[in-house]
Amino acid sequence: MLRIGICDDQAQARLLLRAALERILDEQNVQAQCFEFSSGETLLQWYDRHAGELDLLFLDMELHALDGMEAARRLRAADQALQLVFVTGYADHVFDGYTVGALGYLMKPPTREQLESVLARAQAALVRQLDQAFVCRNGETYYRIPVGKILYFASDRRQVQCVTPDRTYTFYGKLDEVAAQLGGSFVRIHQRYLIRAGAVDRLEGGEVTLQDGTRLPVSRSCQQSALLALTRAELEG
């Protein structure tokens, strides 16, 4: 599922771009979900609550109040993985997009060939990112979480929480399955806790302190194996 955002203060521009994208993706048999935003402020407010829920964003440069470039800077500060494409009627800011790692810069109205090229590059980038991301699902919503941002996982019966500095994601699953999926860079310290080795500040006594100050208990049964795993991860990292 490719999750696409379109931010433009002109409703007709959003409609035309969405229709063109959906036509291409339908022909390619690619499932997609589109979200529309009429202003930079609306986009940022939504993203505060739904960080990590967009894969690709088409962003108009000439937005009222909060312009596209400033919106892009704020989004990039919160999400390094989001693929950004600027869409504009002017060529004045074409080089500004590089400062926020934009995937592309399209003049209005973009051609079919341009959209196909952007979609192909975006999907290729997402495939590469999946090797460095943990993907989970809550209902109909999929989350793509960069592994390097994860602090730890906490399990409560059938629910698992993935904790990052910015947000906590909740999904149904088993901690054993998460550990098997992520491999040696994550260490089991308790029946309820799985931590990212790179997020650990120190291990002392029966407690681990993470780099953000979070303190988690280490069970007696896990103390020796956790110490060995953390030492190995530090040497390998």
* DSSP state letter for 158: T
Rounded mean pLDDT of the chain? Answer: 87
- For residue 136 the two structure tokens come to 């989970």
| 166-218 pLDDT per residue, tens | 889 999 999 999 998 887 788 899 999 999 988 888 888 788 899 899 999 99
Mean pLDDT confidence for 122-134? 80
CB 132 within 8 A of CB 148: yes
DSSP 181-222: HHGGGEEE-SSSEEEEGGGEEEEETTEEEETTS-EEE--GGG
Q: What is the 3-state secondary structure (H, E, C) of 48-92?
A: HHCCCCCCEEEEECCCCCCCHHHHHHHHHHHCCCCEEEEEECCCC
Nearest to 40 by CA among 18, 11, 26, 61: 61
List Cβ neighbours of 62 (8 Å cut-off, separation of 6 or more).
9, 68, 88, 89, 90
Predicted structure pTM score? 0.66
Q: What is the pLDDT of residue 227?
A: 79
CB 19 within 8 A of CB 110: no
Domains and CATH numbers, the chain: 2-130 (3.40.50.2300), 148-236 (2.40.50.1020)
- Give every strand in the sheet of 32-37, ordered side by side: 32-37, 2-7, 56-60, 83-88, 104-107
235 versus 134: which is more confidently predicted?
134
Q: Of all residues in the chain, what percent carry a pLDDT higher than 90?
A: 43
In whole angstroms, give the CA distance from residue 173 to residue 39. 37
Q: In the structure, what pLDDT confidence band is assigned to residue 128 with cuts at 50, 70 and 90?
A: confident
